[in-house]
Structure formats: structure tokens, C-alpha cells
Structure 1
Amino acid sequence: MTVSDLLTYCMDKPGAEQSVHSGWKATQIKLDDVLFALVHEVEGRPAVALKSTPALAELLRDSHSDVRPSEHLNKSHWSTVLLDGTLKDSQIYYLVDASWQQALNSKTAH
């Protein structure tokens, strides 16, 4: 998956807004100021940090070497997925959808 494909998919989500986090050299994708994707590079490779349940995050990390705890975010919820790794595009899209849904749920909970 390319960064361009990922950003297009993220920005197609209702309410998605894009900004730059210059300190992390990352592109943030938010839903009403709630982060759901952070696109950046890890060791020179394209990657995205996505939020999930702690159980799913642990399962993904145990099953895929290209999924690891996110460096700058809550490691129990946020995983960094390498885009040029072994995860299929459909799996990455599913994780984007789940992360967006969590942002939506947290927005409606307030």
C-alpha cells in the first residue's frame, strides 16, 4: 500500500481532517480533533499508527512482525503498521475503519 492510497482512504471518511505534526514529521488524520491515523516513517519505511482495542493490538503484534507499538502514543491502544510489510491492503483498510469508528464513538460519548 502506498502512503497516497492510505491518505485518500482516510480522507474519504466522513469528517476527516488532515494536518501536519511537525515535531513527529507526521500527517495526522482526525475526526473533530480526535486522532484516528498518524502517517509517518519508521526506519525509512512508510507507516501508519492506528487505534484499536488493546486485545486486537496485542493479537496483531503477536501475529505480524510489521505491526508494533506506536512510539509517541498510548502503546496499549495504538499500533504502528508498516505499509510495505506483510499486512494485506484489506487488513490495513479494516484497521483504518476500526480506528475511525473509535474516534467517532469517543466523539459521541462526550
Structure 2
Amino acid sequence: MNKPSAQQSVHSDWKATQIKVDDVMFAMVHEIEIDVHPAVALKCSPALAELIREQHSDVHPSAHLNPSHWNTVLLEGSLKDSQIYYLVDAALQRIQKQG
């Protein structure tokens, strides 16, 4: 994931790569496949989290992070790349607003 100031760190215990800006995580790429798809967990507002889940069957509440603020997005599913890029940008903006 190529975002300004973003740093990646691999956590082999979790089988995931955390992506952070200023030590605040906004995305976590799962190294194991979920439902036969690669997946990424993305931070979002509670309202956006619910809306996206209602509209897309490939978006689920995060099983390992606070599901009110985190969605797991199945990659290579029904979401278009442009929709996934939008969610990544929204995740980054979310942590920048909090900081």
C-alpha cells in the first residue's frame, strides 16, 4: 500500500501486515485468505462501516479488531478496485482526523 508517510510492519503471529501513519494503524492486510479471498481490514467511521456492509456482501465486521470501527474487505470479490481505493483513502483520512 503506497500512501505518504505510511509504514508497514509484519506480524507473523497474527499472519498480517499492519499499515500505520504516525504509529496509528489504518489498515491490516491478512496473509491468510478468508473465504478463499485475500482480505484487508480497514478503519472507518461507524456509519460508513454499517453502510458498506449493507451494500456489499464482501464487506464484513472485523473479527479481530473493534467491529464498530473496522471492516474486513474481501479482495478479488464483488467490490471494484475504485471502491477499495476509496475505502483505503477513507481509512487514512479517519486516522488523520483523530490525530
Query: So what's the TM-score if we normalise by structure 1?
Result: 0.83
Q: Which runs of 5+ in 2 are unaligned?
A: none
Give the direction of change, closer, same or farther, for the CA distance of 1:97–1:15 in structure 2 (3 Å limit): same
Question: What is the one-letter code of the residue matched to 2:81?
Answer: D
The question of 1:39 aligning with 2:29 is answered yes
User: What is the percent sequence identity of the aligned residues?
Assistant: 68
Runs of 4+ in 1 over 3 A off after TM superposition: none
Calculate the TM-score normalised by the size of structure 2.
Answer: 0.91
| Unpaired stretches in structure 1, ≥5 consecutive residues | 1-9
Structure with the bigger percentage of strand: 2
Q: CA RMSD in A?
A: 1.1
> Which residue is 2:73 aligned to?
81
Aligned to 1:7: none
Greater share of helix residues, 1 or 2? 1
Looking at structure 1, the residues matched to 35 and 10 of structure 2 have their Cα atoms a distance apart, in angstroms, of 19
Q: Which whole-Å deviations, capped at 9, do the CAs of 1:41-92 have from their partners, x for residues lacking one? A: 3234200100111111111111111000111101011000001110000000
Residue 27 of structure 1 pairs with residue 17 of structure 2: yes
